[in-house]
Amino acid sequence: MKIHFDTDYMEGAHPTVMQRLLDTNLEQTPGYGTDNYCTEAKAKIRKACGNDNLDVHFLVGGTQTNSTVIDALLSHHEGVLAAETAHINVHESGAIESCGHKVLTLPSHAGKLAPKEVEAYIKDFYADETYEHMVAPGMVYISYPTEYGTLYSKEELQTLHAVCKEADIPLYIDGARLGYGLSSDAADFTLEELPTLCDIFYIGGTKVGAMFGECVVAQPGLLKHFFPLIKQHGALMAKGRLLGVQFGTLFTDGLYLKIARHAVEMAMILKQGFIAKGFTPFIDSPTNQQFFTLPNDVMDRLAEKATFEVWGSRGATHTNVRFVTSWAAKQEDVEVLIAAI
């Protein structure tokens, strides 16, 4: 049987989360997140985020979270600034546009936006005499970690956030893999500091220990009439308590970051293993996604033992590939992979 490094959503839920779902399974609670499990989980998340006034909402999946949040934040004449490589620009089947909004793209620097380029875009936009015929930049979207596993430094976020404040538009962070970023040695800020570095973000559950679920955390007052919008976007879970139970468990005793840290450690072993065998990553990622260019014969040999993702298309002699570890990754599997190089 092969070992798997395709992605971080191949397993179900972390056993502790699963156990809580099992323990509470036959309880009866009111729907749509009005239950006590949700209330308690929200309180725990506010605490972990260092601000008891934060606005917290649970949704089911990442694409629907992005499209609901972005739809909530933008006016009709506005679009969302994002890197060309942004998930919303590439891999969401046009979900943002299907809600009527344009994705305004800027160059990707290993998955990241350059604050200077955001600033210049906004300045140039309003300097253009015909700007009212164009889509206004209405918010900035980034991901942390990015789609390439890279991380913004605290200073980069502060600079980008200052650019957004100056333009009076919100900064939104897609945290589908937030745990794998915050628990990396390369992270120079904590979850508690995150709400001071942006206006709104989501804590990814699906990829970090939950069976499913994403948790939106926003500055108070930013999201208006968000409940009906969640419903309209088909993102409102009838049995809302399932999300409360899961996030409540993940935010008890630091489980969320603890299990994320494990994935990152496994990724670092994997990375060092490849480097030791003489391969250089084409992106230097400090998180749970690792990117290497492999000679095709090496890749093909590995593919006999393991599954992983071809990044782009197969090259003539060398091919880019991605290896991903999850909270459930086993060190022995990583070792088998390295041994197989």
Interactions with its own copies, residue window 274-313 (CB under 8 A)? 310, 312-313
- The C-alpha torsion from 332 through 334 and 335 to 337, rounded to 10°, is 130
174 sits near its own copies (criterion: CB under 8 A):
no
State the minimum distance, in angstroms, from the CB of residue 190 to its own copies.
Answer: 27
Pairing of strands 55-59, 214-218: antiparallel
* Residue 270 · residue 4 · CB < 8 Å: no
Exposed/middle/buried for 30, CB within 10 Å: 0-12, 13-18, 19+? Answer: exposed
Backbone angles phi, psi at 69, to 5 degrees: -65, -45
Within residues 34-63, the interface with its own copies by CB under 8 A covers 60-63
Q: Whose Cβ is closer to its own copies: residue 102's or residue 154's?
A: 102
Q: Which is nearer to its own copies, 104 or 197 (CB)?
A: 104
Q: Give the neighbor-by-neighbor strand order of the sheet with 103-106.
A: 55-59, 214-218, 200-204, 171-174, 136-143, 78-83, 103-106
Binding to its own copies by residue 31, rule CB under 8 A? yes
Tell which one of 38, 54, 67, 184 touches its own copies (CB under 8 A): 67
3-state secondary structure at position 323: strand
Q: Which of 36, 107, 165, 234 binds its own copies (CB under 8 A)?
A: 234
Count of residues that bind its own copies according to CB under 8 A: 80
Q: Which is nearer to its own copies, 75 or 317 (by Cβ)? A: 75
Q: Does 68 bind its own copies (CB under 8 A)?
A: yes
What does the block give as tokens for 205? Answer: 């559950």
Residue (280 or 313) nearer to its own copies, CB: 313
User: Among residues 80 and 294, whose Cβ is nearest to its own copies?
Assistant: 80
Judged by CB under 8 A, the stretch of 2-10, 251-259, 263-271, 281-289 that binds its own copies is: 2-10
- How far, in Å, CA of 246 to CA of 267, rounded? 25
200 contributes a contact to its own copies by CB under 8 A: no
Per CB under 8 A, which of residues 92..131 are in contact with its own copies? 92-95, 97-103, 124, 127-130
Tell me the closest approach of the beta carbon of residue 244 to its own copies, in angstroms: 12
Binding mask of the shown chain, residues 133 to 172, with x at each position contacting its own copies by CB under 8 A: xxxx------------------------------------
Among 37, 212, 291, 292, the residue binding its own copies under the rule CB under 8 A is 212
Query: Which residue in 339, 291, 330, 263 sits closest to 3, CA to CA?
Result: 330
- Provide the greatest CA pair distance for the chain: 62
* Cα dist from 308 to 8, 263, 267, 297, whole Å: 11, 16, 13, 15
Minimum distance from CB of 162 to its own copies (Å)? 23
User: What count of residues does the chain have?
Assistant: 341
CB 269 within 8 A of CB 284: no
Taking the complex as a whole, how short is the minimal distance between the CB of residue 153 and its own copies, in angstroms?
A: 29
Tokens standing for residue 78: 């506005």
Site for its own copies in 238-277 (CB under 8 A): 238-239, 242
Q: Is 318 in the site for its own copies (CB under 8 A)?
A: no
Comparing CB distances to its own copies, the nearer of 186 and 310 is: 310
Tokens representing 63? Answer: 């694409």
Report, in Å, the least distance between residue 12 CB and its own copies: 4
